[in-house]
Structure 1
Amino acid sequence: MESLGQLLSQMKNPQLRRRSEELSAELLNSPLVLSLRAAHPELTDEQLHLNMAKLYQYVNTNRHCSNCPGLDDCPNDFPGHYTKLTVENTGGRTQLIDRQVPCDKQNQRQTELAVKKRIHSFYVDERALEEGYNEVEIMMKDRERAPAVAQVIKYINETREDGLQTQGLYLEGHFGTGKTFLMCYLLHELAKSGYSGVIVYMPEFVEDLKSMMLDNQKLKESVEVMKQADLLIFDDIGAENLNPWVRDHVMGAILNYRMNRKPTFYTSNHSLSALEKHLSFTNKDGEEQHKGQRLMDRIAPFVDVVQVHGSNKRGRNQ
């Protein structure tokens, strides 16, 4: 259709006036407008002619939507939205009200953006957080991993039904069995329910903390993000090269704040007992069993252990 505004602005031209009348007739006989009139017989011809610009927008945006080229190429004046007409009675007077309403694709994009904003990643490939997840596919990828997948899905469903829990999960398994993938799935699913999440790749985080010692503000902000997130995941714990300051003043502070408040999750190649030995040894002070045990007192009682079995999936679709 031509621009109604252009036609109406040049009404002095007889040909354009005739074309405007043809356009008006075309609009009034369009299926959308006929359906509107059938649903609202109180609409008069005069009211429809007075609201011809709204009718034009209504028909035009819906025509574009029926032949949608995709959200990025949306031809509507307000991309991702279409015109919705409603008939309202105000003070005994019938009025035709137009509103711009987001389409399904726009709503989906907004949901995806909201999910992204709720998840913060420290040194974890963010592509893993943007996967298109499917429960059945995840379950069937590796039958050996199915019991672990079932436990993770059960946790997600219980959180959706009962709210945020204080107990987290400890995913233990060999290298490449998909532990990080399952935790990213958990974050993604619960972010859709409105929960914020942080995932931290421990080996690189611990190394980067050395530079943060000289930037107290950055350190404080990072620690605060981890304290306050609804869901916190320490990925590959036990693979980092610990020092006493990281263990006692950073990890200790974060876990001390979160215990009995918010759930913390872990992925590791170590069992809990092996992790305690790892946490007891630092490259500076050697073995300090009581300090490792102190940190484990903030981990072990607040997690359910999930054994993740299966083949090494590194380099393949999880």
Structure 2
Amino acid sequence: MDKIERTLGQLFQGRDFEKQYETLKQQVLAYSPVQDFLKANNEDINEQIINQNLSKLYEFMTEHQKYQDKKDTLMPGYAPRLSLNGDYITVTYYPTEEKIQADRQRAIEKRIRSLYMPKQIMEATMDDFTIDNESRSAAFLAAGEFLSTYQKGSTGMQKGLYIHGSFGTGKSYLLGAMAKDLALKGISTTLVYLPEFMREIKQSIADNSVGEKIQFAKETEILMLDDIGAESMTTWTRDEVLGAILQFRMQEELPTFFSSNYSMEHLENHLMFSNNGNEERMKARRIMERVRYLAKEVELDGRNRRY
């Protein structure tokens, strides 16, 4: 506002004040959106009101022209609007459609927390999920069933999905698409690329932040663990990290999703052997009991879509 008044002051300096004032006034009054405003309020606006509010009309004209030319206004992302309050004309700024859409998109993105997930997964949508065989149809229907029935804060366990299949069939993509759909409904989801998460957990021992990271994974509203079985698993990360997360989510009945190249049966065999080669069948079975409680197994077959 100070900038507008300074501009007007500069325009009116010198001997030709009245001439400059009249020229500017006619320029403002000739501006089509100003004319529309005056016509809409012709019963309440007279010459005196126009003269005493000329700076506001000028502000509107210059800012509206910037908005029309897609230049930055006094308030970027907002468009000017004239209003009449008694004898005073005011300029208010309302959010543009572009800003509304951008704010909506940011709100959606804030509801999808991602750890180490690729950009294309974060942009996935259910509409773009390809259905060209029986297993993909079944996986899509299972995902749709959860999306249509899940209610935030509802009582009772609502199982997630354990999506398994060969490389590149779209397991991670389907998780990302579900997360986007949930975000549109105001539901927060955390997608975690499990191999990288486990590496970070090991590195976090040095700064004593392990407990904080595990607690975050435990408590998030909906958790999606991508590529379980691809991580380098130790007995500690299996039992004290993954086991603790799954135990908490099982007790609290929090929806949990998984993707893997392994079926549940093969994942159990994978988890059975620690990195030192020892066989720990009972501990692997304990982990898998939690996985089976939390998620329904769904196969996603087909060609490798990464190439």
Shorter-chain TM range is 0.7 to 0.9
- Could you tell me how far 1:235 is from its partner in structure 2? 0.6
What SS does the corresponding residue of 1:215 show, helix, strand or coil?
coil
What SS does the corresponding residue of 1:305 show, helix, strand or coil?
strand
In structure 1, C-alpha distance between the alignment counterparts of 2:121 and 2:52, rounded to whole Å: 51
Partner of 2:74: 77
In structure 2, C-alpha distance between the alignment counterparts of 1:241 and 1:206, rounded to whole Å: 8
In structure 1, C-alpha distance between the alignment counterparts of 2:84 and 2:138, rounded to whole Å: 55
Q: 1:97 to 1:185 in 2, by over 3 A?
A: same
Matched, 1:11 2:2: no
Name the count of aligned residue pairs.
299
Percent identity at matched positions? 30
What SS does the corresponding residue of 1:170 show, helix, strand or coil?
strand
Structure 2, unmatched stretches of 5+, are none
In structure 2, C-alpha distance between the alignment counterparts of 1:193 and 1:95, rounded to whole Å: 42
In structure 1, C-alpha distance between the alignment counterparts of 2:221 and 2:279, rounded to whole Å: 33
Q: TM-score, structure 2 length as denominator?
A: 0.84
Q: TM-score, structure 1 length as denominator?
A: 0.81
Query: 1:80-128, CA deviations, whole angstroms, 9 ceiling, x for partnerless residues?
Result: 222223334xxxx454333222212222333333333333333322x22
- Could you tell me how far 1:237 is from its partner in structure 2? 0.7
Alignment of 1:59-74 (within 5 A): 59-68=61-70, 74=71
Higher mean Cα deviation, 201-210 or 142-151?
142-151
Query: 1:256-286, CA deviations, whole angstroms, 9 ceiling, x for partnerless residues?
Result: 2222442111101122222222223322362
Native 8 Å contact 2:113 2:191 kept in 1:
yes
Structure 1, unmatched stretches of 5+, are 69-73
Alignment of 1:76-115 (within 5 A): 76-88=73-85, 93=86, 95-115=88-108
In structure 2, C-alpha distance between the alignment counterparts of 1:253 and 1:211, rounded to whole Å: 18
- Could you tell me how far 1:306 is from its partner in structure 2? 2.8
Partner of 1:39: 40
Partner of 1:156: 147
In structure 2, C-alpha distance between the alignment counterparts of 1:120 and 1:30, rounded to whole Å: 48
Q: 1:134 to 1:282 in 2, by over 3 A?
A: closer
Q: 1:265 to 1:76 in 2, by over 3 A?
A: same
Q: 1:76 to 1:307 in 2, by over 3 A?
A: same
Alignment of 1:181-200 (within 5 A): 181-200=173-192
Alignment of 1:221-300 (within 5 A): 221-259=212-250, 260-284=252-276, 286-300=278-292
Native 8 Å contact 1:202 1:235 kept in 2:
yes
Matched, 1:219 2:210: yes
Native 8 Å contact 2:160 2:255 kept in 1:
yes
In structure 2, C-alpha distance between the alignment counterparts of 1:266 and 1:180, rounded to whole Å: 9
Native 8 Å contact 2:272 2:283 kept in 1:
yes
Moved over 4 A (4+): none
- Could you tell me how far 1:12 is from its partner in structure 2? 4.3
In structure 2, C-alpha distance between the alignment counterparts of 1:235 and 1:101, rounded to whole Å: 42
Query: 1:291-310, CA deviations, whole angstroms, 9 ceiling, x for partnerless residues?
Result: 22222222212223332222
In structure 2, C-alpha distance between the alignment counterparts of 1:42 and 1:115, rounded to whole Å: 44
Partner of 1:120: 113
In structure 2, C-alpha distance between the alignment counterparts of 1:189 and 1:17, rounded to whole Å: 62
In structure 2, C-alpha distance between the alignment counterparts of 1:115 and 1:227, rounded to whole Å: 22
Native 8 Å contact 1:164 1:262 kept in 2:
no
Native 8 Å contact 1:80 1:105 kept in 2:
yes
Native 8 Å contact 1:276 1:293 kept in 2:
yes
